[in-house]
Structures are given as C-alpha cells and as structure tokens.
Chains A and B, each alone.
Chain A
Amino acid sequence: MPINKNALGRYKVIDMLVRNNMRPYPTMEEIIEACREKLGIDPSVHTIQKDINRMKLDPPEGFSAPLEYNTSKRGYEYLDPNYSISGIPLSDSDIDTIKESIDLIRNIGRSQMSEKFNSAMEKILTTVLEEFPQANSKRQILHTMTPPAARGFEHFDLFYSACREKRPVSFVHYSYKKREFKSITIHPYMIKEFDNKWYIMGYSENHKLLRTFGLDRVFDPFILKKTFISPDPQSLAVNTHDYYGVFPIPQQKMQKMKIEASALATEYFQAYPIHESQKVKKDPDGFSTISFHLIPTIELTRLFLSYGRHVKIISPEWLIEFTENLK
C-alpha cells in the first residue's frame, strides 16, 4: 500500500525529532506538538502510535526504522544513531530503472538542457552516483546525437517562465532571409522543439498574429509588465497539431497532399510516419502513393526534397510549383 502524503509528512516530523541531538528522546506530546507546528494538523496519540509502528515495518510498507521507546529516557530513539528515513527507499527494480535513466540523461546531453533543468539534473546525478558508484563506470549502451548548444538556447528559461506566468516579452529578432532586424513583442504560449531546433510561439503585437520565432534569431529578451494577450484557443489547436514542422506556408489552409514514393522511401515513411493523417497505399512493385491531411509547411516541402528522386509530389498543383522554387 503506498504511503499517503499526510502520513509521509508525519514520518518526516518524527524522523526529524528523533535525530535531533540537541533535544533527544522526544515524547509523544512533543511529536504531536511538532506536527501542529510544522504541518498545521492535530494528530491523535493513536495516529502517531500507528505511524511509529508503520515506520518500523520493512519496505515497501515502511522504512525498517530502528525506532524504539526508551523507558529510562521516557522518549523515542533510533537504535542506530546514523539512521534516517530521508534516504529514499528503492526496490531493486527502482535502482535498475534509475541506472538506465542515468544512461539516457547522459545521452540526451546536458548541453541540451536549460540552466535550471541542468542544475536539477546535476543534483539527481550526483546523488545517484553517490548511491550507486558503479553507475558511472558502466559501459555506454545508449547513444543519441548530442550537438553543442545552439545560439539563443540560453533564453529557454526566460521564455519558459514567461509562458508559464503569461508575461509578454520584448526581444530583437533577426530574419536570415530578409537580412533585417526587428524589435518584437510577443505574448508567448509555447516553446516548441523540432529537428533539434527551438522555437517560441505566441501572439506577436507587431504582426497582430500568432507567430513562431527561432530562438537562434532572438536577442536580449526582456519580460514586460503589461497585460497578456491570450491566444485564441481555436488557433492554438490548429497551430499545435495540424502541421509537420514549425513554419506554415502563408495563406495555406489544412488540405490533402499526395506524394509518390519509391520502394525505398516508402520503407522510411512506413517506419517513421510524419503525421497521424499519413496514409500509405502501396503498389505491387513496392512504390506507393502517400497522402497527408495537414497544413503545408516549409519543413514538409524540405522533407520531400530531401528524398530527391525517391519522392515526387503529385498534388496539389501549387505545392509542386512551390517546392520547385525552393530547389
């Protein structure tokens, strides 16, 4: 049976009092008083007695706490003076999972995490390595691509906090394509990752539209004390689910697109579907017609182009022309 949050709070209070060398051997009354003070609750003697009994049980029910009443001192004590329940009780399976997770975390790459997440992760890794030193020397089994941190990623924490607290942000943006700087005020609602690139999405005061900006082109953001403009929930649904990539092609709505894929390209599209609307109609020779129902994006056309002669756009007409112009 899992330990509930209230009981865990009482266990921690008992543990804290029993380990206090300045005032050892706390009495039942002192424990109840401490619960009142620390937790704002008024537990009965019966409740605390039950807590003490449960703490003595072996995991997973309890903590194997060597907790006893010392009759001569008229208070509670740990028979092992170094004992504490603060060491998190883990099963063998928990330990294995943590070890595997360490591998995964290392592979995701600390450079990919923001300063705040990095610091939290550092604490976890240090604690786990203290607990299981062998985790550090284990042969690496998982491996993922970990490129160096990208420009602009240092703003992740600021945008994360602005999204969470609903605060507008002013920043300077540089457009690679237009070779133009602009001062932008965004009311951000989401940070998006695509293809190892990070983007901030929100309502742009300057464009009067929902817009997406690559963090690599964002400079010196400042959180502003002004009224936040929440995006229209309907636009949000469209923006987050109905396209592949980040930048929709202007003036294009949700529509059906068809490509012809070689046998080789078909294998990849089947193995790695790019959108939930993807449908593959396979021919006897292994070639296929693949359809998608989504909002066309720059990233989608680039994906098609990346397959070279293995992918040919069949429809719509305008997309054929548009993609030709990207070459």
Chain B
Amino acid sequence: MSAKNETLLFEIPELDTPKKNPKVLRVLISKDFTRIDFGYTTPWYYDKGGWIKISPKTYLQAEGFPEKYALKDAVGISIAPKRINFQSTEDWQFFTLYFEPIPQQDCVLNMIEAEKPTPNDFNYYGIMLKMKEGAVTYT
C-alpha cells in the first residue's frame, strides 16, 4: 500500500461504456491532482476529421459519493469554447485532463462532461480503481 503523498498510476483496460473514442488510457492520482490520459482518433464521418474540445464544467465523481472534482487544466485538447480542429480523417490526438485530487481509496469513477449528454459529449462511467493495483511513480 502506498503512502498518500505518492502518485499512483492505473492503466485502464477497455471500458464497458458506449463511449470508445476518445479512449481512456491511464488515471493518475496524486495529492495535488487527478489526471486522466486519453487517446482520440478522428472518425471517417466528420469532414477533415472534425474537432474536439472539453467543457470547463467537466467533473469527476465517485459512484455513491456526492463530491464532485472539478476540471483544472487540459493538455492536448482545448477547453470550450475553443476547440482543436483536425485536418484529416487519419488524425489522432493524445490529451490529458487534470482534475482536483480525489481521495486515494478504492472507487468507481465517472467523468461527466454533460449532465444530459449527447453522443458527442465525453461522459465515461465505471472507471474502476483499486488502490492496491496502482503503480507508484517516481514523479
């Protein structure tokens, strides 16, 4: 079991969620932030690959708990109303979202971009985090 001031890294297997793209890749929990890494590939059905952005109101919430953890920063994706425009249907983007730190305890995490989501919103449910499965990082 790690000390609470260490950063824990979780590799996220394929999520049982309708939203497959962007794909959730890793979650890192530190005393200062919660970080989620995503990979996005532009789909064929948008002209020139379309665009992506993330709502500033996006938050994390552990199932069964009322606390919400707000989005603090984003790297590799623009915070709305700005957006990243792609150039082709073969483009791809690695991006990272930083949220307020969640407690280092076992939980099932949801990321909510919109309370009443459309298929375009980045809502993810059921990100299972077991603290004993987290790898401690050197950073």
Interface, chain A (partner B; CB < 8 A): 167-168, 170, 172, 174, 179-183, 185, 219-220, 222-226
* B9 A224 Cβ-Cβ under 8 A: yes
- CB-based contact B138/A222 at 8 Å: yes
B39 proximal to A (CB < 8 A): yes
Whether B90 contacts A224 by the Cβ 8 Å rule is no
The 10 A-B pairs at the shortest CB distance, nearest first, are namely: A181-B39, A225-B136, A183-B11, A223-B138, A183-B25, A222-B137, A224-B135, A219-B94, A179-B41, A183-B26
In the complex the two chains form, what is the Cα distance from A174 to B22 in whole Å? 13
Q: Give the residues in chain A near B11, CB-CB below 8 Å.
A: 170, 183, 185
Given B12, B90, B139, which contacts A222 in the complex, CB threshold below 8 Å? B139
A219 CA / B93 CA spacing, docked (Å): 11
Q: How far is the CA of A214 from the CA of B111 in the complex (A)?
A: 31
Interface residues of B in 1-45 (CB under 8 A from A): 9, 11-12, 23, 25-26, 28, 37-39, 41
Closest to A181 in B: B39
Residue among B25, B28, B136 making CB contact with A226, cutoff 8 Å = B136
- The one of A174, A185, A219, A224 in contact with B136, judged by C-beta atoms closer than 8 angstroms, is A224
Question: Size class of B's contact patch?
Answer: 20 to 34
Q: Which residues of B contact A172 (CB under 8 A)?
A: 25-26, 37, 39, 94
* Main secondary structure on A side of the interface with B: strand
**Is A183's CB under 8 angstroms from B37's CB?**
yes
Partner among A180, A181, A185, A224 whose Cβ is within 8 Å of the Cβ of B94: A181
User: What is the distance, in angstroms, from A181's C-beta to the closest C-beta of chain B?
Assistant: 3
Q: Are A224 and B92 in contact (CB under 8 A)?
A: no
CA distance A79 to B9 in the complex (A): 63
The CA-CA distance from A269 to B138 in the complex, in Å, is 47
Tally of A-B Cβ pairs under 8 angstroms: 59
Judged by DSSP, the binding face of B is strand
Question: Among the interface residues B23, B41, B135, which one has the most CB atoms of the partner chain A within 10 A?
Answer: B135
Contacts of B94 in A (CB 8 A): 172, 174, 181, 219-220
Chain B interface residues (CB < 8 Å from chain A): 9, 11-12, 23, 25-26, 28, 37-39, 41, 90, 92, 94, 96, 135-139
Check A220–B9 contact: CB distance below 8 A: no
Out of A182, A183, A224, which one reaches B137, CB within 8 Å? A224
Nearest chain A CB to B126's CB is how many angstroms away?
17
Question: Which residue from chain B places its CB closest to the CB of A226 in the assembled complex?
Answer: B135
Contact A180 B41 (CB under 8 A): yes
Contact present for A181 and B135 (CB under 8 Å): no
Residues of B within 8 A of A223 (CB): 137-139
Give the chain A neighbours of B28 by CB distance below 8 A. Answer: 222
Of all chain A residues, the one with the shortest Cβ separation from B37 is A172
Across the interface, A185 reaches (CB within 8 A) one of B37, B90, B135, namely B135
Q: A172-B39, A220-B37 are in contact. Are A225 and B25 (CB under 8 A)?
A: no
Which A residues lie within 8 Å of B25 (CB)?
172, 181-183
* Complex contact A225–B135 (CB within 8 A): yes
How far apart sit A239 and B25, CA to CA, in the bound complex (Å)? 29
Cβ-closest chain B residue relative to A219: B94
Within the complex, what minimum Cβ distance (angstroms) separates B68 from chain A? 26
Residues of chain B with a CB closer than 8 A to A219's CB = 37, 94
Contacts of A170 in B (CB 8 A): 9, 11, 26, 135, 137
Distance of B3 from chain A, by nearest CB (Å): 11
30 contacts between A and B (CB under 8 A): A167-B138, A170-B9, A170-B26, A170-B137, A172-B25, A172-B37, A172-B39, A174-B94, A180-B39, A181-B23, A181-B92, A181-B94, A182-B25, A183-B11, A183-B12, A183-B26, A185-B11, A185-B135, A219-B94, A220-B37, A220-B96, A222-B28, A222-B138, A223-B137, A223-B139, A224-B135, A224-B136, A224-B137, A225-B136, A226-B135
